[in-house]
Structures are given as structure tokens and as C-alpha cells.
Structure 1
Amino acid sequence: MLLEVKDLSHSYDSEANPDNYSLQDINFAIEQGEFVGLIGHTGSGKSTLVQTLNGLIRPSAGQIMIDDQDITKIKNLKEVRQKVGLVFQYPEHQLFEETVFADVAFGPKNLGLTEQEIEEQVKNALEVVNLDYETFKDRSPFKLSGGQQRRVAIAGVLAMEPEILILDEPTAGLDPKTRREIITEIVAVQQKTSLTIILISHRMEEIARLADRVLVLDEGKLVLEGSPAEVFQHQEFLQGIGLGVPQITEVLLKLKSEGNKVATDIFTVKEAKQEILKLMRG
């Protein structure tokens, strides 16, 4: 098992108010190569959880096992942060170097790699996010478009060659075309390299289409876990905790509730169209 979280709890105010948990008794495991969606309303604990997974936050209790090593007991987290890459929401706000090359190379340099190794990893990372190395390496990241800046920021994490990539709303604020392109690029590298991905998103259609498994947080607790088909069957429960289901699923569940025989584990417009046409034709 690549990642296993056991009885994880965290309180930001453990001394003054020990019962006020941001995370409480979280348990789950993720295998190598899985694409996991993490959903929950604002304040449910999603960002706190993923920051514990790469050591930015040390939890109040519990274990986080990565490659059979409990990272909550490790003092030097450099190796952990190489294994677990975290792309924050609006990661372009973290760009700071004068050139694209220097920004993407910052992480690999800190790993003590040779200049040739650093250059190779920067090239590979920029290629993954569809930025030509020769065209962009000497350009200022601050003179790029918003979508290009987002790609450079993601490349900076990918250049560390992590085993696990955590994406916290990676396409927030982007136009639909750029959003689709970046998600396509991330999926492509995951399929090519067996990279393990944890994606936080409020776009239920995106989660349903991409994830192998979905984790649902509510008030710091893991309240639901399963495949997209399993999780999004719980429409009323999800709505009760401030979430929804993909619009396509909502339509199919409505048809099923009216006595129609339709599949509800469908998450693309094309498949839904075929299902509805099949229903209409009897």
C-alpha cells in the first residue's frame, strides 16, 4: 500500500479547546496509480488533510504511512515532500524566480541533483504541461498568461518527480478551455507513469469522470467513500452536507425515481444521451 492514514485527528487549538477538531478519526488507504477525488463543503477539512499528507501540518494524533514509513515521526521532511507533491489553489502566486527555468528547477536543485539531471527534469516537467522548453525556459514567469503561469507552477512540483501528486482545485479561476487542457495533461502523465493523484475539486462532473475512488469529508470526518458510481448514488445525503451530484447523474436519478429503467452510473454527456435514447425507444 503506497499511502495509509490511520486514526488521523488534528486540532489547531488543542490546548484551549481539545474537542474542537479540524480532522477526527480519519482512516483510508490509497494504492499506487490510483486517482482519488476528495470532496467536501468549505471548511470540511480537505486542505488540512492534504497538508498533513506531505508534512506541512503535523497532526495531533494518528499515523500517515507512506511506503510503510510513518511520516508523523520524521523530523526531516525533505524526502517526504519529494514523494508527496502539493499544488495549492492558485499556485502561480508562489512563482518567484526570474525565469521559468529557475522556478521549475528550484525543487530539484534542493535535492542536490547534478546540473544535467536538473535540466532533464525541468525539460520533462515542462513537456508534461505542454510548454516548449526552448520557448519558455528563459522567459519571466510574470509575463506569461494566467494559464501558462499555472502550468509553470504545476511543472515545478512535477519536476520533483513525486510518487503522489495532490492537486487542491488546480484549475480554479481558469477559463473552460484552459481548465480542460490542464486536466487532460495531468491525466495523461498519470496514465503514462502510474503517478498517484489526489484531486480536490468542487466540480462533481470532473470528480465523477476522473476519479477511481471518491472520499467525502464533512466537519472533519470521512463520511463516505467508494467509486464515483457508489458515492453519487447518495444524492440526498450529499445535498444534506452541502454538496451535489453531477448534473447528468441528477437527471438519471430523477428518471429512475419515476419508475424508468435507466443506469445511473453514467458521468458523460455522450453515455447519458445513449441511455436516454435507449429509454425513449423502449
Structure 2
Amino acid sequence: MDGRAVAPAAGTVLNALATGTGSAFAIDLETTATVELTSDGEIGAEIADRPDADTTLVERCTALTIAEHAADAGLDRSAVGARVRTDSEVPMASGLKSSSAAANATVLATLDALEIADAVDRIDACRLGVRAARDAGVTVTGAFDDASASMLGGVTVTDNATDDLLAREEIDWDALVYTPPDQSFSADADVSACERIAPMADLVAELALDGRYGEAMTVNGFAFCGALEFPTGPMIDVLPDVTGVSLSGTGPSYVAVGERSTLEAVRERWDERDGTTRLLQTRTDGTQVT
């Protein structure tokens, strides 16, 4: 019994660290998970091209999914094991939601291996991955905003304290991503500094719930660059030409959205900086069994 699923990465509209309310949108960088069920009750995982990488999140996603749903597939959960492999285009610790994509792909691939993927509500599957991320200690907020955008596609607004989906909209943007050569782990972010900018985060949430995502992103970007001590220079590089631009997650990546022709032009400015730029599209289909 084998399963396979693909999950997209995401960019930030509102970082949830300040208030627990967050917003993100799916972009077309993908993480693929393959799951082979076994009968020995053991769970093992590997990450392609990263033999020494920590696989706790992937293993926890698989274990929780089996614990919750093996019986639905007519199996004894205590006897079900799995071998899991993930392969990702999403750079790790870059602010592009690599953990959420890995969690979603793993949960859905496990459900596919159990042959019940179509029977489980996608938002419930998303919540399993969020639980696993909290258990694994790879997130401060639970990242339900990032995970929901990756699982459902489009842009989502969420309450990460209660794991409630407040809004979702399918959007048709192009996205330009600039990733400096550094890494930044969300679990290491200065939460107290982020909480001090809660009034700005409340404003961003109002803008996002009003569908003014570009303005929301830009306000979020300046506020969280200040709180997390990232430079605002990359944002200034592309303003006022783009629809919106923000630090993505807890950095170090920045994401701008707008018309493709505009993004192609402003890309030259980011190309002058050290790091990598990618011109991508947004995704509305979310995580898929393949």
C-alpha cells in the first residue's frame, strides 16, 4: 500500500506571531512525499539529498495520521508502520513554509497509502500536520495559516490559536521571491518583539479580511522587518511598482506579488543582491494526491 502527494509552498500576507491571526498564499514550489506502509509498526523517514536532516516532523505526521485513520481503513493501527521519503524544491528555513508543505504532503500521502484520502476533509488533514509541527517543535504558532494555504491553495486568513479558517479566496497573482543566502528558523524568532507590534498586525488582519492583500502584505513586511531586525531595503527595491511585498514568515525571504511584466522588470533589482530570485505563480489547487 503506497501513497504519494505533492504540496505547495506559501508566502506571507500576515505573520501570526504578533496576535495569532495569520494569512498566507500558496506558490508553485513543491514538496513531494511518498509513503510505503509496512506491517512492523515502525515508522522511518528520509529527506532526499539531506541524509543528516531531522525527520521528526515527517515521522510525527505519519504516526498521527495512522493513529487517527488506520481503523477507518480497516487496519490495526498498532501493527501499521511506514517508510516515508520527502523531496522538496522549497529551501529550508527560508520563510517559504517548507515545514508546512512537508507536513501536508506527508499527511495526504499517508492517507493515500491507507486508500482513504478522498474520505478525509482537507482542513482536518491540515490540522493533523499542524499538530505534528507543534509536537516536533518546528513552529511557534502552529502555522495553521501557512498550512491551510498550502493544503487548500489560494490565500487564507486564520486564527492560529483555535485553528479556525476565517477566510479563503482563490487569487491569480504572479509572485517574485528573493531568498538571501542565510537561514532563519521560525522556532528561534523573537516572539516578544513581534507581540509588541500587535496593533499593526490587527491593521494587517483588517486589510486582509477586506481583500486588500497587497496593502496588507506591505504593512506586514515593514512591521515585521522592524520586529525581527531584517532590512527593509529589498522591499524598497520593488516599491511602488508591485501590488504588495513582504518579509515572508520569519525570513529571510521576501515575496512580492503583481503583474508578471512588472515583476520581470523589478526582478533585476533583486538580482543585484546576494542570493536567489524566483519568478513563480500562485496556486489555487493546494495539496494533491498524485
- How high is the TM-score relative to the length of structure 2? 0.25
- How high is the TM-score relative to the length of structure 1? 0.25
Higher strand share: 2
Q: Which has the larger radius of gyration?
A: 1
**Which structure carries more relative contact order (alpha carbon 8 Å, separation 6+)?**
2
